[in-house]
Structure 1
Amino acid sequence: MRVLEFHFNPKLRPGLIFDSFCYEPGNVYERRMGNLYLTGALRNILPQNVNFLDKLAKVIQKEYYRSSIIKPEKALKESLKEANEFLEQIAKKGDVSWLGNLSFAALSLKNYQLNFTKIGDLKIFLLRGGKLVDIDKKLKFEEILPWPLKVFGNIVSGKLGQDDVILISTKEVTDFLKKSNLLPEITKLAPFNEEGLKQIFDKKKEDVLKISGICLALILSEEVKAGETAETPFRFPYQPVSSRTAKQVITPQTYPKEFNLREAFTPLINTFIKIRESLFARFKELIKKPRLRPPTEYLKEKREFPKLRVPKLSIPRLSIKFPLKRRALILILALILLLCVGFFIAQFKEEKELKEYQNTLQEIQEKFNQAETLLVLETPQTEEEANLLLRESWKEISPLSEIAPRLPKDFQNEVSSLKERISEILFELNKMETIEEPELFLDFNHRGFTPHRILSFEDEFYFFSPYSQNLFKIDSNNRSQLIEVARTFNFAFPVDEVILFFSKPDQLTILSAERLFSGTLEKPYEDFSLDSLSMFREHLYFLDKNSGEIIRYPYLGDLKWGSPEMWLVEKEKKAVGAKSLAIDGSVWVLNENDSLSLYHRGSLEKEISLEIFPEPEDFKKIFTSLTLPYLYLLEPAQGRIVILDKDGEIVKQFQSQKFDNLFDFSISEDGKTIYLSTGLKVYQIKL
């Protein structure tokens, strides 16, 4: 058993921490439980959570090895229960910032028997016989149960074989391996070892320095058991002996600067020039200047001219000895000549590459000029064409700007200047407004409550969370009130002057005149999951992203709802994997690929691909209503909210560095104010 740990640029992403923990048996009792491997990552950390992963790993490790009379599978389940209790205690203290930001994997291994579970976006692969298997797909992922808090759910067990490899990677590393097409190379690596893996990463070292995360490899190769000799026949199964390498922390310091003949020999050539100038100056000093001597005798009667004497020149003799043989001297001269030739070849190559980059920059400049010309015409069609040209220019100049720091300063400045101009115009065309200091509406830092959801209704505000009990209300007089209720809530909507709250899987809670009433919805079918809620004329519409169904509960009056109905036409395209829905008479669905689908009377009417800048990464929520003329899209990944008209055209975008952990938003009834929740802080944008 060998363990390889690669940590990529741990300090690259502010607010991100990650680590791997490999526990091997320390005594004969722990050997009965085998090895335990944990990998975790946490985004958007608060200062008090710097050691969050270490504490969680310690809780799991301590419980896993606590008893040696139970099976490893049972021990892992018990340790996960302990981890859930540990996380619940943290949540009860008001810290739920880690919810939705934590990714964690736990694996136990004994006698080739694997047990594992995970939460978040970590990936676990099995490499076997040149094939890659995504084994975490076997996990049946469950919703996090809010109270009592249950983060870790079921586990998967399986039997591994000799030379199998388990590969665990965080999302950014996984995306990099897929995008760079390195996964096939890693899969075919034989033998699978540290050196081979490093060579594969080295092929993309410039890209490697731009990612941050972990890649952990568990290699089940044949090892010699303790007490056996190398000649002992292999017996299967057996407890593999673990051989763990030191963590490979990859940072810019890992890769020294590439050797450059021009840079290497320029100082040497400059030294030769200085030596030559110094010798020439010394040679001039050694040459004595002529002096005219006065006449030895001066006769007044007879004028005589002094005798001129030719000055003696003292020229040093140059005595050069060559201790080396002529053949050795020729070899040295040949080496110097070769280095000089290499220097000039490298210089020529760099000049050629620079010329190519300059040509590319010139082409981008021409596109930019063409876009500027189109913008002068000031028509919707020319603006659209200019926007397309500028987005193409942005895609082309982005990789060039990454190479530019290795090129001459003038070229760097040209690239930087052009990229900035492209960005400015794209932001203007795409109606992006960057807010340096957004207006703070409410701060929950000292209120003992951390909300994840927000609802504004008339002049009142309601804050709640799927992970924490209770409600928090601010009335029209700006008075705050904590409403204690032993339940968590996922969604909320106003109905007939009261507030309706929904708790998964099927619970309704109605808040009326400070009193709470509860009810239950009829289940639409087995294994349903109501993932998004919207309301139209008091009818409830739910989205089940697993089945892609839109489920309608008709309103019967008197705060009662009837039996569920499948709203989509039977043979209509289902919204499988969709993330959110909103209703304005028609149903708008935010799809998994960040496109929009519009359904009317149960049928798909049209699909809209969003052509906006910056390009979408991961929209989370869509909202609209019958009284609002726009669509509102929330994207926490880029800290922005996007406003579109109902043809998919951009109306406005707002972005801020303060929107670094967006959970939810709400729109005032008049549509003039947006409220954005980042958990502990709520900001407002007045339109």
Structure 2
Amino acid sequence: MKSNTLTKSQPRLKFQEFIVNNTAQGSACHIFIAQPTPLEEKNFGKLFLLLELTNFQNKADEIFTKIQKSIATNYYCAEEFIIEVAFENALQQTNQLLQNITAAYGDEWFKHFHAIIAIAKDQEVHITSAGKVQGFLIQNDRILDILQQENTHANVNPLKLFSSILSGNIREGDSMFFSTESILDFFSQEKIKRIIQENTTEEAIRNFTEILSQSQTHNFAGIIVKTESEVLSGTNFITGTKETLTDEVQDSMQSLIQKEQTTHELLTPSLWPKIKTNLSSFKEKNNQKYFTPAKQEDKKEEKKQSKQHIPPSMKRALLLIFEGCKKITYWITKGLSILLRSVWSLLQKDKVKRFPAKMVHFPQRTGGILARIILAFQRLSRPRKILLLLSIIFIVLFAQSIMHQGSKREEEKSLLEYETKIDDAAKKIDESKAALLYKNEEGARAFLIEAQTILASIPETISVYQEKVEPKKKEIQTQLNEINHIRNFDNEAQVVADFSSINANLSLGALMVLQDKFLVTDATNGTMYTAKEDENPEIFVENSETQDAIKTMTKNNDVLMGFTQGAALKNIDLEKKTLTDVQVEFSTSEKQASDLNFYGGRLYVLDAEKNQIQKHIKTASGFGKGENWISDTNVDIRDAVSIAIDGAIYVLKKDGTIIKLFAGNKDPEFKQFAMEPKFSEARKITTLEEGKNIYILDGKNRRIVILTKEGQLVGQYISERFTDIRDFAISNDEKILYFLNNVQLYRVSISQ
């Protein structure tokens, strides 16, 4: 070990304020940043205010002084050391003061009063505001409006003015900026961010005042709160002893607190400090007298926790010893009954009956060491035999006792490890909530998945599983559903049409939403059905003789087309209620296509077998031979199941992956959201040419997923009614979702 110099960096909050008075006719501004004693700052942090009065300037100084004195006195003299409680109590007293001022001066001044009152302790921040003020959090490359309010309190009771508190943590490298409302007339949020991030607090204040001083009509006030690293140095410590510096800092702080208390006693003309000291001493003695067992239990718990970290090699060795002891105990117990019967025989008078028949011949039936041991035992006198047997019994019982204690300790240690895991999971859940405050959904999701993984390693057999683990799992799932925008609409889905009125055993196929009705195909034959909302369905085309059912429907401009299982393209005439063949030169692989679509009068067929999309040009008699549309050789769509077109083509693969293609090439700007839960049975994708979103059916997970056309998540809609979903469609205004489940057609309103 050698002597070194220790340098340690820790974040601290730095405050800098400015007031710019350009005109006597402008608003009156006031800033107060408390300068508490070290003990007060340790317990309560730092209080700061920003106040503005846009009228009644002649009363402003008096009102500001009263508010400052009230909030500072009530906060730093609070009996409660929990800063949230102390802050709330101080605000209640300040609200009472505002009521008194209103009673004295009338309520007209109150309409022109604007304020920010905040507490910062370490990295914890609590803020309340009233009126029109500005508050921003500057984090990394973002600036967030943390107040987000257009407050007017013309009709607000003064007793309830400061009743809402915003709480959170400011991290190292973050900054906060508070100001009067009019500052946004001179600076954009982006410019405010750059000034604060690219300069020290002093330079930032200088930049603000130089520009704001040029105004002739407004007065301004602002506060910058910035986290900066504070370097603490200590010398001549021994390398490897982490406690050295900590003890010195604690001793220094205790000395500082003791000096402050001593000074307070000397300056206070009262006997109360002495009485208080004596009462505290008496209380400590009583605590020691009556609560010593509890303290001993705490020490035992600390000792237990300190011993929980056992090296893996030692754990394996202990486990082997434990298993060996179990086997030894088993064999000793097995022979114990024979030994006990032997003791009983020795106590009998008749020596011939001292041993059972088995024991008499036992040496002759054995050999080697065991036979010699038994013969030696028989030669012992009766008292020695009894003493030996009693000793063996005692040893067995003692070994069992040791094993029981070891097993009990192992259970306690395991339970302690599981409790630690539960605490770790709870911390991850709290971190996810903090990430959501900054609208960081990806970060929150990562924390929740970590917590989920931790809890999954805890067996359901532990005693506290139902009490502590299950509630955490439910909380995680609730938060994940919220982050993943999952919405269950079991109670919102309404039945539009029930096709069981035609035949309860129908097997329906494709769905098409028309202007005033719905068209549905039969999955087993060429029959088609139609329905209107709140009316009984009816047969549209009766064609039960053919097995060539229509498996998908699409539109070519205003012409409705159907693609059959036999690879035939049909023209569906809604007026004549007929199906006619359309000539298309399909290749052999195209006849196995699972989907096709029209765009700009051209037919596009998903030819997954050839890893292509075939484009067919319109001809006089139908559509010509297909041409390879995909030119990007890196695109793989061999497991694709569906396509949607709006100028670009969206290709859906079985695993839910979406490939966006434009002019035959993959669009590099399309970034698909990492879906949770993952797709398990992606079956169909659709979009509208002028729509905002794309829609995907995930059959096994019973959900419809909505993404933007850039790949970002909009929402996930699930329902237990998706037991046998056949097809779905979206209304032209993208506000209603229709889904065909078994023989019923449902509708549900969606919000985006």
Q: TM-score, normalised by structure 2?
A: 0.45
Q: Which has the larger radius of gyration?
A: 2
Q: Point out the structure with the larger helix share.
A: 2
Greater relative contact order: 1 or 2 (C-alpha under 8 angstroms, separation 6 or more)? 1
